[in-house]
Amino acid sequence: MAQPQYKRVLLKLSGEVLMGSQPFGIDPEFVAEMAAEVKAAKESGLEICLVIGGGNIFRGMAGAAKGMDRAQADYMGMLATVMNALAMQNALEQLGVPTRVQSAIEMDKVCEPVIRRRAERHLEKGRVVIFAAGVGAPYFTTDSGAALRAAEMRCDALFKGTSVDGVYNADPKQDPAAKRYDTIDYDTVLADNLKVMDASAVALCRDNKIPIVVFSIRERGNLARVLAGQGVQTIVQ
Ligand code: UDP
């Protein structure tokens, strides 16, 4: 594999990538596949921070749409991200990759709290650090959590693995003429309301000059290719 151009990266995966072909929840086989991709990326010499969403289990907005109190539903969503983080930690450690989970909601029986200096030490020692529970507050998403941790941990880039291979000027599933950008600037993403990440996450990356690399996580081996600066992707910068 070509030499990666980054040293430390934050990888954001939506919860949906853990559910495989199931309608919801966690499919251990898929988690193992994702863990193998992360392992390959780590073996290329990168320091890896990981943030996993919770949409495969629970989304606060969905609960609120059905009449729940939004903040209460969001806390449930944050707990879902901790379950995903533990599932990924299990899969990574089964592959021999030492991993620590740090949660923004303290849960000392199952993982560490978020402590930046400790996370630094884990990365130095070659561990993958999974940041769970987003920013630890309702009305946010794990995209904002990913942008926050990427800034805090001084990551060289935020890699957002999704089901599409980049950012388009229209929804490629609806419009066959939709065009994919190779690069695009933060302000165009915000002004045109392009569906990359939440506006607050994009703004945080912009203000801290963290490039966002959007790529498809569905193709096997793509993460390693994209990290090496190859493969199909859109860079928001
Ligand atoms: N959430 C939250 N604050 C955060 C991060 C997450 O309230 O800082 C809640 C929110 O309800 C969200 C859910 O956790 O819907 C799951 O996260 P997200 O929707 O970002 O997961 P993804 O779409 O990436 O799977």
Confidence at residue 92, expressed as pLDDT on a 0 to 100 scale = 98
Conformational region of residue 134, where left means phi above 0, alpha means psi within -120 to 50, and beta covers everything else = left
- Residue 102 near ligand 1, beta carbon < 6 Å: no
155: which 2 tokens? 């990551």
Report the run of H or E that residue 12 belongs to, with start and end.
strand 8-13
Nearest CA to ligand 1 atom 16: 54
Strand-pair partners of 103: 113, 132
Confidence at residue 116, expressed as pLDDT on a 0 to 100 scale = 98
How many CB atoms neighbour CB 69 within 10 A? 12
Confidence at residue 50, expressed as pLDDT on a 0 to 100 scale = 98
How many CB atoms neighbour CB 173 within 10 A? 10
Confidence at residue 171, expressed as pLDDT on a 0 to 100 scale = 85
Q: Note whether 150 and 10 are within 8 A (CB).
A: yes
What are the structural domains, with CATH classification, of the chain?
A: 8-236 (3.40.1160.10)
Confidence at residue 20, expressed as pLDDT on a 0 to 100 scale = 87
Nearest CA to ligand 1 atom 3: 140
Annotated binding site: 12-15, 54-55, 59, 74, 135-142, 162, 168, 171
Confidence at residue 195, expressed as pLDDT on a 0 to 100 scale = 85
Confidence at residue 2, expressed as pLDDT on a 0 to 100 scale = 47
Q: Which pTM value belongs to this model?
A: 0.95
Confidence at residue 65, expressed as pLDDT on a 0 to 100 scale = 94
User: Which residue in 138, 90, 131 sits closest to 112, CA to CA?
Assistant: 131
Counted residue by residue, the chain has a size of 237
- Residues in the chain with pLDDT values less than 70: 1-4
- Residue 162 near ligand 1, beta carbon < 6 Å: no
Q: How far is the CA of 146 from the centre of ligand 1 (A)?
A: 11
d(CA 47, CA 98) in angstroms, rounded, equals 12
Residues 6+ apart with CB under 8 A from 127: 98, 99, 100
- What 3-state DSSP class applies to 50? strand
